[in-house]
Chains A and B, each alone.
Chain A
Amino acid sequence: MTEWKSMDIDLLVVGGGPAGMAAAVEARQAGLQVLLVDQRERLGGAIYCQPDPGCAPVAMSARHRARWQALSREFAASGAAVEFHTSFAGLDSEGLALLERRASAGEAGRVLPVRARAVVLAVGAVERIAPLPGWELPGVMSAGGLQMMMKRRGAVPVGRTLLAGSGPLLLAVASQMVALGQPPVAIIERARPFGQPAELLKLLATPGYLREALAILARLHKARVPVLHATQLTSIRLAAGGGLEVECRGQGDERRFSVDRVALHDGIRPNDFGLPGGAATGGPVLSRAGDCREALGAVAAIEDGKRAGREAARMLGLKLPAMSLQPVKRERRAQAVLARLFSPALTTPPADLPDETVICRCENRTAGDLRGLLAGHDGLSAREVKLNGRFAMGSCQGRFCADATVDFLRRCGAGAEALEASHLTGRRWPVRPVGIATLLAEGGAAADPASVIRIEEE
């Protein structure tokens, strides 16, 4: 271990999930000097999230485990430098990549400016959650968040859990809960995935997915987990005696559940909020890899990461052939089948959301506020929605509300057809709020490069 003497590096990879790891491996093989940073303390990202010390890992399919083990081995042998507890705060207008190293025992947090020739952003996907009355209450979380808790702790949080929304992740989470001995109360799925036999047959083209799906369904069936299709949550309320009172509506019938926890999920989308796009003058060659470029899952992420690592080397002038996009295309087809199977049979049109439904949780802005903003304005610009409506202006900087706000505007506002979530979230740094003390911390200043990054010398 030697002190890193300069802050100049060939390739900065942001994100230690499958895409970032694969990009780093490929770039190292091409001869680039690579620094990979991850905001957590271990590699794996969300999909291969490893358990906390002393906790048991959750069950993983054999092919899944084999893929992770192979990638881990390749990465460990690659010689890429890794910094944990470090997240990407953005790219400043001078092309400096700003890395925020979180405070840890005995060390204050600080921002490290790094000059990289190339940057691969591989920060994964985030879940979509469609707003409904009560989704902001304590006890309501995302299904992906619940899954991460289980992966880290090897246990399900105690109490009655209802899974709701749409998408194959709900089934996977339920199956993991069953395996850990605490099945969910039920799965409330908007779509009717078995209502489309022609689409189901297409899964035969990807036997890996099919095998996994059958194993999950068998496990849920055996544990008698109720799966309600074509059904959606209409409201969540705090119950008088504690816990949550949930109402849902299927075709013609209504049902209620009393639970301790609701885990919502409505699919995933790239985690590209606020990320820089074009290169700044004199700045690094920028690219995105894996789910943060296109949310297609772990298999595609590894392939896309390799592509991005190779592409970074090519962009920096190394003579190497481009990589085939074939494996990514195959995954894209498989994901498209899943997307059609889980194409919701029911969705509450935004126009039907009660006025008091919270859309922006940070600034507590509601569907009623959005309606008021729209009244009398045609062709409302994203800027007005932000400045006057305060949507996408809070601490989360639009992560939780930009999609829902844009969906609402497109369907309810005249002249808003061309609005996109990225118009609300913009491109800026800091990508997330960063401590002022952290930003000013000594040692992170350009005047003191020697103390910054330690890198393994070959």
Chain B
Amino acid sequence: MLSPSFHNDAAPPVNDPGHVVIVGAGIVGISAAFFLSRRGVQVTVLEAAAPAAGASGASDGAVSVASKRPGLMMQLGLAGIATYRALASGGVLAGEFRERPTFIVASNAAEAEVLAEHAAALAGAGVTVRLLARAEITGLLPMVSEEVVAVARVEGEGHAIGYRVVERLARAGRFTLRRSAPVDGFVRDKTGRVTAVSTGQGGLIAADAVLVAAGNGSERLLGLSGALIPRKGQLLLTERAAGRLGAPAGPLMSSRYLLSKGAAKGGPADAARSFGLVIDPLATGQFLIGGTREDGVTNTHNDLAAVRHILREAVTLMPDLARLRLLRAFSGIRTATVDRLPIVGAVPGAENLFVATGFEGDGICLGPFMGELVHRLICGEPAAVDINALSPARFTPRAA
């Protein structure tokens, strides 16, 4: 699927795309800028606020397929993990990708049934996963509640902090990054080709190719009306446990999360607000606990009811958490799509305009891989994975 040495591929492209303007300095835009610039392509990134100011800087950092069903998103997720592994061992993300298992936890018989079915599906997709015996649960996860009846240990997973990945790639890449530079439209020629990007300050920046990786802001720029759904997630961060309580070797994911995400068969349709539970032990000794899924909500506030609900569930699963203090509550706004697939590819009607957005909760996992993939599209090279199903054409069928 991926050449293991792609990260060393710094040869100039056969057809230089010229000056590439990237809209959005989140993990996807910055990854694309990194891969383009290391092949000698001239890149300018225009960011409305600051790098990682959106979902990239307010996410849980899961580099994981544990909650996925077999299919394209699983395939992309695995490629995402492989990309992290390559970039970490190849240098540029050294130290920023922490490999660890994910523990999916069932607290009753019904959840255990969903979990067993899910584990079998993961295994069928080639993921290493194992249901732990009762004695193993006690040995490996002494911190979880006695109510836990089943645990699936998913191997080959990892964690990366979105804003740190962005910072690392931004420093390693040789491209221009402009903060506080919102884009409000494009100038096109008669064929529909984009010739320049119009910035909020009234200026124009000439472009030979444009990538829109602006999360929820992409909809307005590309006229993808109704395709994107902002989906707020509230996240909680504890103080450092500093050895006061045992941390699991990887995140604890309630199998109810599978239902909340609709990943397992029989999952509920999206409600306006649903909860999932992941307790993630960070390298700092803090715990990151999430979270909500709130459709159509674009404020980044936190409300007591949601925070209490998340914490109550977390303490039920891992009672010792009650001994820590809540340091911070925050929110991020994911960019989801109506058909649950990202939007990646050339925009119909403009041969040099590309988009990469709609990764919902998978932006950190998929960001570097998608940046690599999109940089190939922009250079006119074949992609490593067939992404026709992600084409924006499904939302802009009549664009001329």
Interface residues of A (CB under 8 A from B): 92-94, 96, 98, 111, 113, 280, 376, 379, 381, 383-384, 387-388, 395, 397, 428-430, 433-437, 439-440, 445
Query: B52 to chain A: closest CB distance in Å?
Result: 7
Query: B239 to A94, Cβ gap below 8 A?
Result: no
B93 within 8 A of A: no
Docked pose: A159 CA to B318 CA in angstroms: 46
Query: B301 to A439, Cβ gap below 8 A?
Result: no
Chain A residues with CB under 8 Å of B298's CB are none
A436-B324, A440-B322 as given contacts; A381 in contact with B53, CB under 8 Å: yes
Chain B residues with CB under 8 Å of A92's CB are 301-304, 307
Docked pose: A12 CA to B307 CA in angstroms: 23
> Chain B, interface size: which category?
35 or more
Query: B304 to A435, Cβ gap below 8 A?
Result: no
Q: Mark B313-344, 1 if CB is under 8 A from A, else 0.
A: 00100000111111111100000000000000
Residue from A376, A439, A440 in contact with B171 in the complex, judged by beta carbons closer than 8 Å:
A376
A429-B302, A435-B325, A436-B238 as given contacts; A381 in contact with B49, CB under 8 Å: yes
Shortest Cβ distance from A111 into B: residue: B304
Query: B329 to A430, Cβ gap below 8 A?
Result: yes
Residue from A383, A388, A397 in contact with B164 in the complex, judged by beta carbons closer than 8 Å:
A388
Which residues of B38-68 are within 8 A (CB) of A? 49-53, 57
Docked pose: A212 CA to B57 CA in angstroms: 52
B180 within 8 A of A: yes
Query: B299 to A93, Cβ gap below 8 A?
Result: yes
Interface residues of B (CB under 8 A from A): 49-53, 57, 163-164, 167, 171, 179-180, 238-239, 299, 301-305, 307-308, 311-312, 315, 321-330
Shortest Cβ distance from A381 into B: residue: B50
Query: B326 to A434, Cβ gap below 8 A?
Result: yes
Chain B residues with CB under 8 Å of A429's CB are 302, 329
Chain B residues with CB under 8 Å of A96's CB are 304
Query: B252 to chain A: closest CB distance in Å?
Result: 16
Query: B327 to A383, Cβ gap below 8 A?
Result: no
A93-B303, A383-B53 as given contacts; A440 in contact with B327, CB under 8 Å: no
Shortest Cβ distance from B312 into A: residue: A440
Query: A437 to B323, Cβ gap below 8 A?
Result: yes
Docked pose: A341 CA to B307 CA in angstroms: 48
Query: B239 to A433, Cβ gap below 8 A?
Result: yes
Chain A to chain B: the 9 pairs with minimum beta-carbon distance, closest first: A93-B301, A381-B50, A433-B325, A437-B322, A387-B163, A92-B304, A93-B303, A388-B167, A92-B303
Query: B321 to A94, Cβ gap below 8 A?
Result: no
Query: A387 to B52, Cβ gap below 8 A?
Result: yes
Chain A residues with CB under 8 Å of B302's CB are 92-93, 428-429
Chain B residues with CB under 8 Å of A381's CB are 49-51, 53, 179
Q: What are 28 pairs between A and B in contact, CB < 8 Å?
A: A92-B302, A92-B303, A93-B301, A94-B304, A96-B304, A111-B304, A280-B301, A383-B49, A383-B52, A384-B50, A387-B52, A387-B163, A387-B167, A428-B302, A428-B328, A429-B302, A429-B329, A433-B239, A434-B325, A435-B324, A436-B238, A436-B311, A436-B315, A437-B315, A439-B308, A439-B311, A439-B326, A445-B308
